[in-house]
Amino acid sequence: MDAVAGLLDGPRARGAFLLRSTLAPPWSMRIADEAPLTFLAVVRGEAVVLPDEGDELRLGSGDACLLRGPAAYTVADDPATAPQVLVLPGQRCVTPEGREVVMRTHGVRTWGNSRHGETELLTGTYQLDGEVGRRLLRALPPVAVIGADALESPLIALLAEEIVRDAPGQEAVLDRLLDLLLLTTLREWFARPEADPPAWYRALGDPVVGHALRLLHDRPADRWSVASLAAEAGVSRATLARRFADLVGEPPMAYLTSWRLSLAADLLARTDDTVESIARQVGYESGFGLSVAFKRVHGTRPSDHRAALAG
């Protein structure tokens, strides 16, 4: 598992909210849907993103950005334009005064104040925490912008083409396109000096610690110890322990526990596997052992965690 795959393994859109917006000025939308992660791309025209905290960001044609929830933000043609629509959890739309808004549609998954507006946006929203791993969300800033010159992805045009189709299996096609766009955008973001990726991500470039991390990522169910991991990495136990802690910020076994529980949380969210089965997949001898560790970290049992996601 390479550095990018190690960080990005996990996004699994399932019936994601996807919308094409065609807009003519003045327009402004206040987004308070509390979604964990949103992908926004400008197909044509311009938009201004106004986070509740931080500077305004101007996007042009071909630019994309990632917005980490649950913080609210505003997207508009101009910072001075007052919000006309408030988007709440469940993608419920109201006016700033609280009246329900009937969205004016201009075709399949298309909305806006003008059918031929000069600005066209694509919005894809991961609506559940389980669809995007916490490890990934913790690594992201509130807003990450990738310019068209860096992204250079045909996927935006492909999504713009596919989002208006109403064919069998289209929901699954759009979910996978959103996942691919997210991964492409994240890969470009984390290649930037200002991205400040997590310590373990940077440590993957170290010949010793990187090798140890890949072993843990690829084989979490193995009965690892610091000694066995050091033997695989070709160094002494003391050397690995010291170097791992220096670069990653925690001991190897503490990192392994965190990784196993992250994997377990993802499996609980996206599979119907039993807790016993998941426990074995991530390196616990029993469902009870996983439950104890999971509750210690997440404050709830795996079965309750799954039920909360489903509800």
Instruction: Give mean pLDDT, residues 132-157.
Output: 81
Q: Work out the pLDDT band at 140, boundaries 50, 70, 90.
A: confident
221 lies in the same domain as 170: no
Q: How far apart are CA 134 and CA 155, in angstroms?
A: 25
52 lies in the same domain as 189: yes
Instruction: Give mean pLDDT, residues 262-275.
Output: 87
**Boundary residue ending a domain (164, 195, 226):** 195
Query: What pLDDT is recorded for position 295?
Result: 94
Q: How far apart are CA 311 and CA 304, in angstroms?
A: 10
What CATH number does the domain containing 296 carry? Answer: 1.10.10.60
Is the pLDDT confidence value at 29 over 90? yes
**Boundary residue ending a domain (171, 195, 219):** 195
Query: In this structure, are residues 51 and 142 in contact, taking their beta carbons and an 8 Å threshold?
Result: yes
pLDDT top residue among 8 and 135: 135
135 lies in the same domain as 41: yes
**Boundary residue ending a domain (147, 177, 195):** 195
146 lies in the same domain as 220: no
What CATH number does the domain containing 160 carry? Answer: 2.60.120.280
Highest mean pLDDT among 136-150, 199-213, 220-234, 257-271: 220-234
Look at the pTM and tell me if it is higher than 0.85: no
Query: In this structure, are residues 19 and 46 in contact, taking their beta carbons and an 8 Å threshold?
Result: no
Instruction: Give mean pLDDT, residues 161-181.
Output: 88
Q: How far apart are CA 188 and CA 232, in angstroms?
A: 31
Query: What pLDDT is recorded for position 103?
Result: 65
Tens of pLDDT, residues 118-137: 999 999 988 765 555 667 77
213 lies in the same domain as 183: no
231 lies in the same domain as 302: yes
Q: Work out the pLDDT band at 1, boundaries 50, 70, 90.
A: very low
273 lies in the same domain as 169: no
Query: In this structure, are residues 45 and 70 in contact, taking their beta carbons and an 8 Å threshold?
Result: no
162 lies in the same domain as 235: no
Tens of pLDDT, residues 42-69: 999 999 999 988 889 999 999 999 999 8
187 lies in the same domain as 209: no
Range of the domain at 141: 3-195
Which segments of the chain does DSSP mark as H helices, in order?
A: 3-8, 134-139, 148-151, 155-162, 170-190, 199-203, 209-218, 226-233, 237-248, 252-270, 275-282, 287-298, 302-310
